[in-house]
Amino acid sequence: MKTLLLSILLLIPSLMVGQIYKMYSTKNYHNQLRLNTATGEVQQIQDDGQSWIICSGVEPLAEEAGRFCLYETQNMWTFIMLDTYTGKNWQVQFSVESEDYMFAYPINRWSLAYPTEDSKWTNRFQMFATKNMWNFIMLDSYDGRLWQVQYSAEDLESLVCVPINLSKLVELENRSIFSIQPLTSMYQYYLINDITGDMWKFQWSTKGDDYRWIERFR
């Protein structure tokens, strides 16, 4: 019996890694979002049995589980979907009013990295919420590049994904080695190389490019 229990416990992590479909709770307790983590398909599921496709999938032939993930925002109807392989991201909105208010709209349309068929880049790109409800920080955890990502509930033309630093801080690693930590100012963070201990200080801003910067911390 103990041997069987141990085998089951050892199997659980592998099952989680291979999870194709993932459910996300929303602030409307009658609705959840179901994400196909391989293709990026997003479905709104209501507890009375109704369902709607919000996003039909952006990589319909992809098979690698865990490529896509959803980040909840402080707007109850809005999530951000991230392609952790390429850094592309979309504003995903669900609704209880009508299908006209359900959509997935691109924030960043362009690949920031180019995976090959044998790339295992799950979790390469990561998103971090800021204290400003409309802005996130996106990190390439392999090479240290950073972007400011802004969504909007009112104006889809104001969605932005702008770089904080364009230069790679290390040669390409095939693993996550960078993390960020917030500072007292809501606009400033540390960027940390978790392998070497090297640190940078950076700032994002709603005022424009002149207020976004990064510098080596000594």
Q: pLDDT, tens digit, for every residue of 95-119?
A: 999 999 999 999 999 999 998 777 7
Instruction: Answer whether 68's CB lies under 8 Å from 83's CB.
Output: yes
End-to-end CA distance of the chain: 56
> Residue 104's closest CA among 36, 193, 43?
43
Question: Considering the domain boundaries, does residue 11 fall inside one?
Answer: no
Same domain, 109 and 127: no
Each residue's pLDDT tens digit, 135-192: 999 999 999 999 999 999 999 999 999 999 999 999 877 899 999 999 999 999 999 9
Query: Which residue in 83, 81, 128, 124 sits closest to 105, CA to CA?
Result: 81
Does 133 lie in the same domain as 54? no
Asked if 38 and 61 sit in the same domain, the reply is yes
Contact 39, 65 (CB under 8 A): no
User: Does residue 3 carry a pLDDT above 90?
Assistant: no
- Quick check: 5 pLDDT over 60? no
Domain boundary among 113, 132, 161: 113
Task: Supply the pLDDT for residue 218.
Answer: 76
> Residue 38, SS3?
coil
pLDDT of 115: 85
Indicate the number of domains in the chain: 2
Average pLDDT over residues 76-86: 97
Check whether residue 109 and residue 133 sit in a common domain.
no
pLDDT of residue 152: 97
107 and 81 within one domain:
yes
- Residues 215 and 136 grouped into a single domain: yes
Look at residues 78, 113, 148 and tell me which one is the last residue of a structural domain.
113
The residue range of the domain holding 96 is: 21-113
Residue 9 is assigned to a structural domain of this protein? no
- Cα 23 to Cα 215: distance, rounded to the nearest angstrom: 39
pLDDT at 174: 85
Using the predicted structure, report yes or no on whether residue 132 has a pLDDT greater than 80: yes
Q: Are residues 109 and 135 in the same domain?
A: no
Tell me: the pLDDT tens digits for 6-58? 444 444 444 445 799 999 999 999 999 999 999 999 999 999 999 999 999 99
Asked whether residue 14 is domain-assigned, the answer is no
Co-location of 218 and 128 in the same domain:
yes
Flag whether 3 is in a domain: no
